[in-house]
Amino acid sequence: VLAASSVATGILGDALNDDSISDGNSWRVRIPYEGLQSEFRLSDLVCYPVVYTVCIIAFLDNDNLLPFVTVIIQHIDITENKSSWLTFMLYVGGLTFANQMPDKQLQIPNLVAAQRFARAILKRYQLHTSDIKGALQKLATGDISTLLGYYQRLMSIRDIGDSDLKNKSEEHHRDSFYYALLKNPLLLEANAEFEITKSPRSSGRIDLLIKALPVGPTVITEWKALRISFLDIQPAAPPPGPYRSVDFRKALTLNDISDASTVLQLKFAPYDKFRAGKTIREWILETSGPGDQLAKYWASPEIIELRRTQKALAYLVIVVGSRKVLLWELSDEGKLLKEPQLVSE
């Protein structure tokens, strides 16, 4: 179910948070719920009776069955409706009522279940733990580009619906990167080598500080996201099959761009209230723009104090249309280096 379900990965991504418990014997996240079905028939959850048996086996981690599940249940209600998915997973033991506030929250019962969920998430996004571990080793030296490249693959597969393309903010992208790659329960040993801090919403910044332990550099990232509906991009020709929106077809065009300079020259749509007609480059470099904001953060008392005691690197991370990630490094003097890079794996 999880490997085929976008609603499942969304539920788990939203549920993960800094207060999650991880102690080697349990690994739990709290999942808020409303309106669970107290009674249900099999036909209420799925369209084909055979799918029920296959789904249970798939949750028990039979890798050979997951592709089959993907094919036969991709349009079934359980993969698209939060209440149905939570009810089903509670029934088969993938979730349980939370110890605190059981009338409002569910939780993953143990580390084994959490790792099964995590494995299914990675499989859905065509990612491998060995690759991510290699990217984390690079991150320990201050190079975050490869790990961002894997996130670029993840979001390109995940963000295909109109809601995803229109509504994913920088906070969504930062937190998804954090949860799926930096806090993945399959990588607890590798992740223990980093101290990670997210800024609170009240700070007005969407940033992420990643310190490699014990004496590695601290990587400071400031996140921005440009939704594809606000970019002036020529939509690709409609693909075969069911109707696809203009935003989806614009994303197809963006997929084919392979260099940072072309991305930087993309313009904001005429109906963008504040940036109409500007290029992405102009927006980044304008007064009080993203580059200026990162430079001011770099010069803030808290970061100056951090830099006195350890090596620090600062990057502007710009997610473009849920398809591309621009990475622009800041110099020690607080200036953006000459050109950004378009991340790759």
Q: Is 164 a residue whose pLDDT tops 90?
A: no
Confidence bin at 240 (pLDDT 50/70/90)? very high
Q: List residues bridging with 53 in a β-sheet.
A: none
CA distance 200 to 37: 34
Tokens of 268: 């904001």
Q: Mark whether 97 and 68 lie in a shared domain.
A: yes
Confidence bin at 235 (pLDDT 50/70/90)? very high
Last residue of a domain, one of 124, 151, 177: 124
Q: Mark whether 268 and 139 lie in a shared domain.
A: yes
Q: Is 2 a residue whose pLDDT tops 60?
A: no
Q: Mark whether 140 and 236 lie in a shared domain.
A: yes
pLDDT of residue 296: 96
Q: Mark whether 314 and 243 lie in a shared domain.
A: yes
CA distance 168 to 229: 11
Q: Mark whether 75 and 175 lie in a shared domain.
A: no
The position carrying tokens 């800094």 is 18
How far the first Cα of the chain sits from its last, in Å, is 28
Say which residue, 255 or 113, is predicted with more confidence: 255
Confidence bin at 54 (pLDDT 50/70/90)? very low
Exposed (0-12), middle (13-18) or buried (19+): which is 332, by Cβ within 10 Å? exposed
Q: Taking residues 94-123, report their average pLDDT.
A: 85
pLDDT of residue 151: 96
pLDDT of residue 307: 95
Per-residue pLDDT reduced to its tens digit, 243-260:
999 999 999 999 999 999
Q: Is 51 a residue whose pLDDT tops 70?
A: no
Per-residue pLDDT reduced to its tens digit, 65-101:
444 333 333 334 566 677 878 888 888 888 899 888 8
Per-residue pLDDT reduced to its tens digit, 257-308:
999 999 999 999 999 999 999 999 999 999 999 999 999 999 999 999 999 9
Q: Mark whether 73 and 135 lie in a shared domain.
A: no
As a whole number, the mean pLDDT across the chain is 82
Q: Mark whether 310 and 190 lie in a shared domain.
A: yes
Q: Mark whether 140 and 95 lie in a shared domain.
A: no
Q: Mark whether 235 and 141 lie in a shared domain.
A: yes
**Count of domains observed in the chain:** 2
Q: Is the peptide bond before 214 cis (omega within 30 degrees of 0)?
A: yes
CA distance 8 to 78: 9
Last residue of a domain, one of 66, 98, 124: 124
CA distance 82 to 342: 35
Q: Mark whether 172 and 312 lie in a shared domain.
A: yes
Say which residue, 104 or 51, is predicted with more confidence: 104
Q: Mark whether 177 and 275 lie in a shared domain.
A: yes
Tokens of 17: 């948070």
Q: Around Cβ 101, how many Cβ atoms within 10 Å?
A: 10
Confidence bin at 188 (pLDDT 50/70/90)? confident
Q: List residues bridging with 279 in a β-sheet.
A: 267
Q: Taking residues 52-58, report their average pLDDT.
A: 40
**What DSSP state is assigned to residue 256?**
T
Last residue of a domain, one of 101, 124, 147: 124
Q: Is 61 a residue whose pLDDT tops 60?
A: no
Q: Which of left, alpha, beta for 142 (phi over 0: left; psi -120 to 50: alpha)?
A: left
Q: Around Cβ 125, how many Cβ atoms within 10 Å?
A: 18
Q: Mark whether 322 and 261 lie in a shared domain.
A: yes
Residue range(s) defining the domain that contains residue 252: 127-345
